[in-house]
Chain A
Amino acid sequence: MSSKPGKFAITSPSGDRPWWGRWLLILPWVLTAAGTSYRVCGAAEELQTPPVRQTPDRLSTSVFDTVSPPADKIRDLIYLVTAIASVILLLVGGMLIYCIIRFRRRKTDRGEPPQLYGSQPIELAWTVGPLLTVFVLLMVVIRTVAETRRPEPSADAVRIRVVGHRWWWEFQYPDFPGLTTANEMHVPASVPGRERPIHLELESADVVHSFWVPRLAGKTDVVPGRTNLMWFQTAHTGSYRGQCAEYCGTQHANMLIRVVVDAPDEFEAWAAHQASLQQIDPEFAAGQGLFMNRTCVNCHAIRGTEAGGTVGPDLTHLATRKTLAAGTIDNTRKNLAVWLHDPQSIKPGCDMPSLRLTDQEVRDMAAFLESLK
């Protein structure tokens, strides 16, 4: 088939289309694949392989797949307005198509058609009709606005202070002193007899972000200098995905949110554990020493050690999280090693610098961080 070994086939086996036809078809895929070649210089092989997500999340982010009252209410409103809009679209579109077909110029046409300058009754009708529709729609909207916003937390509510950072999320739980975590928010499910609305107080450490987990609620912007409120509540345990929805700079795309809804007792256990100080296994003293003596502690905190930085994510109980770098990669020791070796290769532009660690230092530190259960 190919007359030049080592080159692309230049004749088509079927012969019914030019040789380049198929390449044209797969060109975008080929070029994209070519672009995925990865560059990490001078490190061990395990650090050069890209940190692929081993188990791609199959977590829906559809606005129709709702499990929480604010999202449910919005979904119902979407259905209603879509129905009204569809009727209008069918009427206007049908009229347009009818006119195009019925009033096309025919060969037999001579001269100009009758000129119709306007008609006040008709024009009044198509002013008043839409006015009434809009009025009804506005009433429904106002009702939904009132239903969706709920300003006062009840006694059973869980309050969480959400701080948006470029490009990660900080979650503080005022009801559980000391509890600060990042990017993965755990909340309790509501069970019959005990409703647990979740009230978020949204603040920003730098620029405008937006907190959006579509299955739980609409988005609320996270504006510096303001404290915005939002709430949700759900009986469905599981993991819900979302991400920052207001453009906030270079790594806006990799600022993901996970909300994990636990059964009530699981949540209490999680919260108690997360609020506790970190127990350190002396087996990982090498990695711990590196962490404490390098610049890590300037930005990161591990509660129970001398590391108390507040600029970057709190790393206490890091090993209990599913992902790293705000949902960019799975939390595995290998991925963590690649991240420590060169964070900029995974999240270019992020604030974490490459520390120029040796391969052994990377391994030690990854082992230490992965021991923070």
Chain B
Amino acid sequence: MTTVADIPARSSVDITMRLHGWVTTVDHKRLGIMYIVTGLVFFIVGGIEALLMRWQLFTSDGQVLSGTTFNQMFTMHGTTMIFFVAMPMIFGIANYVVPLMIGARDMAFPRLNAFSFWMSLLGGVLLYGSFFAGGAPDVGWFAYAPLTEYTFARSTATDYWILSLLISGVGTIATAINLSATILALRAPGMALGKLPLFVWMMLIDAFLVLFALPPLTAALVMLLLDRQLGAHFFDVQAGGSALLWQHLFWFFGHPEVYIVALPAFGIISEVIPVFARKVIFGYESVAAASVAIGFISFGVWAHHMFAVGLSPGLDSFFAGASLLIAVPTGIKVFNWLATLYGGRIRFDAPMLFSLGFLGMFVFGGLTGIMLAAAPIDWQFTDSYFVVGHFHYVLFGGTVFGLMAAFYYWWPKMTGRMLGRRLGQWHFWLLLIGFNLTFGPMHVSGLLGMPRRIYTYQAGQGWELWNQLTTIGAVIQGIAMALFILNVLISLRRGELAGDDPWDAWTLEWATTSPPAEYNFETIPEVRSRRPLWDLKHPDDPDWKHE
């Protein structure tokens, strides 16, 4: 007979077993979810850091944070958002969705996959471990040498920062190998490369970008570690090192990194827009080809982050030209998305709202990017708040809006439940308003001469109003994200059941149950076109007749 005392004991065993299941899993879906949860937790942390900065800058001569704390906040905010929010969220979604989309049972190397995740998480934990070792790093997320040399950064915080990025970088590179192997080797029968869903195409390009962009960063980090710990002089100018070497190495990683976090968003909305406009993507080949072009060109533009360091006029012109050139393939994709909308029957569910938001915001960010690519303009704009506004339109208006679209789109597949429609709309509209109120005025304060990364500013230059608008916008964004978390929690408890295919979509992941069984598909489906479920739903007019 069961005694009352047995019940909590049994349930704690149950929790332990379930936890054990998660910790030891090599299932791509569980790892994907763990990546996404990691990204969301760090997103909240990075968001709080941003709000603290905005509180400090709400007035001139603000006294909320000390200079050192403020400098730590923007260093942690940037590092967190790039390496421990954008990357885990992207690889989480890719982890979950890519094998399903190509009709595979798992990633090519499931154990390596688990290794990658735990390395990424370890990197994030190590970064925040610096707080307990005497303070967070305060050298900025691009950590320009020689500010990072032991002479100028004596605490261990910078070493934590280096090790954190080194370790998570190993995980990222392993994931890239895993993803490319999966996509190249484990596709369902009949799924030629030309029939890959566009999100998978983008992730394939993404994986190759990671493979070529991350190693220079790893090398630079190791060199910096040698400088700091073993007395090497790579970046130590006094001893004959070079300050610019760091900048070249960092941005040779840093600019492709922008596309590493942007291409998946392109892929996401290339999936969402067709489904919610009820039309096949316009110009599949040119979307894929344009992305490959972006991938190549992105390795030839890094010095546009360095226009102000005193390059020669020839180099200025070359990097301006290469950077402007990226606008062409990017423009092609925007036109393709618009043409997909044209003549469609658009449903405005949350994934589509975020995708349309992405289109508007990303185009704006791309156009300010053209201004920054013009080297002389960059001499005024770089390192001012204009740049901060610009890259948030690209990375938040682009990547985060894309990730939100993905979240609303694939959540029913991951959990079997729908997210609330009303709350989703509130989330979108508040985020859109708050986003523009935050980052729009930043362009103005930049034009008025406000440099970035200053913890305080004096009255009298007309900067107050724009900073106050920015802070108010940031608070609105905070509220929007709180609604999002609420939506997630409500959906987990009592969300409407989704069924296998709630959006009436066309790619393979919607052919299996929600959530899918551990083995994904009972039988691996055979594929004849880019939209296998369209073929199934329209046997009279299948896609493969048109491709």
Contacts and interface: CB of A to CB of B under 8 A. Distances in A.
Interface of A: 28-29, 31-32, 35-36, 53, 56-64, 71, 73-74, 77-78, 81-82, 84-85, 88-89, 92-93, 95-96, 99-100, 103-106, 109, 112-119, 122-123, 126-127, 130-131, 134, 137-138, 140-142, 144-146, 148-149, 166, 206-208, 210, 212, 214, 217-221, 223-226, 228-229, 241-254, 348-349
A100 to B, nearest CB: 6
Contact of A122 (B285, B339, B456, B538): B339
Given A206-B152, A221-B310, A116 B343 contact: yes
Contacts of A254: 456
Given A210-B383, A221-B308, A57 B458 contact: yes
A370 B61 CA distance: 26
A246 B64 CA distance: 23
27 contacts: A31-B64, A32-B62, A35-B64, A62-B448, A74-B376, A81-B370, A103-B342, A105-B278, A105-B345, A112-B345, A113-B279, A115-B541, A116-B279, A122-B339, A123-B286, A127-B328, A127-B332, A144-B374, A145-B316, A145-B376, A221-B310, A226-B243, A228-B310, A241-B449, A246-B144, A249-B71, A348-B67
B380 A247 contact: no
Interface stretch (B85-93, B177-185, B214-222, B319-327): B319-327
Nearest to B538: A112
Given A117-B546, A138-B324, A223-B244, A92 B334 contact: yes
Interface string B456-489: 1111111000000001000000000000000000
A28 B309 contact: no
Contact of A223 (B238, B243, B380, B447): B243
Contacts of B368: 85
- Name the 3 nearest CB pairs between A and B, nearest first: A218-B379, A61-B449, A253-B454
B376 A103 contact: no
Nearest to A88: B367
B517 interface: no
Given A62-B447, A246-B383, A218 B308 contact: yes
Interface stretch (B358-366, B394-402, B494-502): B358-366
A148 B451 contact: no
Contacts of B546: 115, 117
Given A63-B380, A252-B453, A93 B324 contact: no
- The range of chain B's interface size is 35 or more
Given A59-B461, A100-B356, A113-B279, A250 B375 contact: no
B140 interface: yes
Contact of B341 (A99, A140, A142, A249): A99
Contacts of B452: 247
A134 B454 contact: no
A245 B453 CA distance: 9
Given A28-B471, A130-B327, A247-B452, 11 more contacts: A31-B64, A56-B459, A85-B371, A103-B341, A112-B538, A113-B345, A115-B546, A123-B336, A149-B313, A208-B146, A253-B457
A39 to B, nearest CB: 11
Interface of B: 55, 58-59, 61-64, 66-68, 71, 138, 140, 144, 146-147, 152, 237-238, 241-244, 277-280, 282-286, 308-310, 313, 316-317, 320-321, 324-325, 327-328, 331-332, 334-336, 338-339, 341-348, 356, 359-360, 363-364, 367-368, 370-371, 374-384, 447-462, 471, 538, 541, 546-547
B280 A116 contact: yes
Nearest to B284: A118
B138 A141 contact: no
Given A78-B380, A113-B279, A138-B321, A105 B346 contact: yes
B227 to A, nearest CB: 14
Contacts of A35: 62-64
A59 to B, nearest CB: 7
A249 B360 contact: no
B146 A206 contact: yes
A247 B316 CA distance: 22
A220 B380 contact: no
A53 B456 CA distance: 14
B454 A81 contact: no
B449 A115 contact: no
Nearest to B340: A116
Given A32-B62, A245-B384, A130 B458 contact: no
A208 B246 CA distance: 12
A220 B310 contact: yes
Given A115-B280, A137-B374, A348-B68, A99 B451 contact: no
B384 A144 contact: no
Nearest to B352: A100
Given A35-B63, A145-B313, A253-B456, A219 B308 contact: yes
Nearest to A247: B453
B411 to A, nearest CB: 22
A76 B457 CA distance: 28
B449 A62 contact: yes
A130 B58 contact: no
A77 B461 contact: no
Contacts of A88: 363, 367
Most buried by A among B146, B285, B462, B546: B146
Contacts of A226: 243-244, 310
A85 B346 CA distance: 28
Given A64-B447, A214-B380, A126 B335 contact: yes
A248 B367 contact: no
Nearest to A225: B237
Nearest to A248: B147
Contact of A142 (B317, B343, B449): B317
A97 to B, nearest CB: 9
A74 B59 CA distance: 30
